[in-house]
Amino acid sequence: MASEMTAEDAAAAIQNLIENIEHVIIGKRSVVVKAVSAMLAGGHILVEDVPGVGKTMLAKSIAKSIAGDFKRVQFTADLLPSDITGVNIYNPNSGAFHFREGPLFTNVLLGDEINRATPRTQSSLLEAMEETQVTVDGERHGLQSPFLVIATQNPIELEGTYPLPFAQMDRFMVRLKIGYLNAQDEGLMLRSRMNGTPIAESQSVITCANLVDVQHVVEQIKVADDLVDYIVAIVHATRSAPNIQVGASPRGGLDLLRYSQAMALIAGRDYVLPDDIKSGAPVVLAHRVIIKKGTRHATLNVDSIIEELVESVAVPV
């Protein structure tokens, strides 16, 4: 059923959402906009950064802003897939098994330090992230709507970690880095924490049902045929570049399309511009490619490589 929400209503709701999150995540509007864009586009978020920059706070503020259920899983080496998906438990009184839901059954799931879990446990998220369901003992269980995974990992401490499988990386719409605050914003942050935390005072500004409506509006944002071809050209360029061993997948192209639609709506437009695609390409595609080892590009920032690549593709007139 099509949403009755107008593009104007959706854009206003989005601005309220962004501003509400910014009360908690101070001085990082660009990161907040990217995270909200991914959520509006129905994608999942990987936040890769050093400890203490606000990764967990970002997830909590998003969940609170949309009045959604929030659950957190601390990924460790001994975590089992059933600890996340849930498990069938035998009831001796009824003589039957009943399903006990795992933390996946929520609106916003924070997977803290996801790379500390084994590949087997990491893979338990694959079906949920792609199909919004989990299968346990041959029985399918649908997840809540909306459903958003925000996973974090620390790129500094690699001891005792397991690199995310390439298939897992491909299911994250964006990979974000929050980064340190500048001196002025860090001062504002410290003063805001004098008498408590902003997250405690944060209010919900949109319901989960309204968020789903906004997601439907995002899908209706117009994308001209030549811009679809532009996205295809960028994705194909990652596959033919001499310094890239593995290029972006078709899912990467679809995610770039949806992300660009969300960016257009945030800007108050009902149509996508080439700039939406150009700005979205590094954050959507950089974690989906593998740079060839032994080349001068191997030590470069992957985002910079994608930006260079995008500049080499002709922009539709």
- Close Cβ partners of 195 (under 8 Å, ≥ 6 residues apart): none
> What does the pLDDT look like over 150-190, one tens digit per residue?
999 987 777 768 888 888 899 999 999 999 999 999 999 99
Question: Quick one: pLDDT at residue 8?
Answer: 87
pLDDT mean across residues, the chain: 91
Is the domain of 67 the same as that of 200? Answer: yes
Whether 267 and 174 share a structural domain: no
Domain end point (choices 162, 187, 209): 209
The 10s digit of each residue's pLDDT in 5-30 is: 888 889 999 999 999 999 999 999 99
Residues 185 and 76 in one domain: yes
Q: Mean pLDDT, to the nearest integer, of 124-130?
A: 92
The answer to whether residue 157 is domain-embedded is yes
Judged against a pLDDT cut of 70, whether residue 295 lies above it is answered with no
Q: How many helices (H) and strands (E) does the chain have?
A: 14, 11
Residue-wise pLDDT for 88-105, tens only, equals: 998 888 888 899 999 999
Chain-centre distance for alpha carbon 295: 30
Q: Is residue 215 part of a domain?
A: no
Q: Is the model's pLDDT at 1 over the cut of 70? A: no
For residue 185, what is the domain's CATH number?
Answer: 3.40.50.300
pLDDT score recorded for residue 2: 46
| Residues forming a β-bridge with 289 | none
CA-angle at 291, arms to 289 and 292, nearest 5°: 135
Answer whether 276's CB lies under 8 Å from 21's CB.
no
pLDDT in tens, 52-68: 899 999 999 999 999 99
Give the residue-averaged pLDDT of 23-40.
95
Split into its structural domains, the chain has a count of: 2
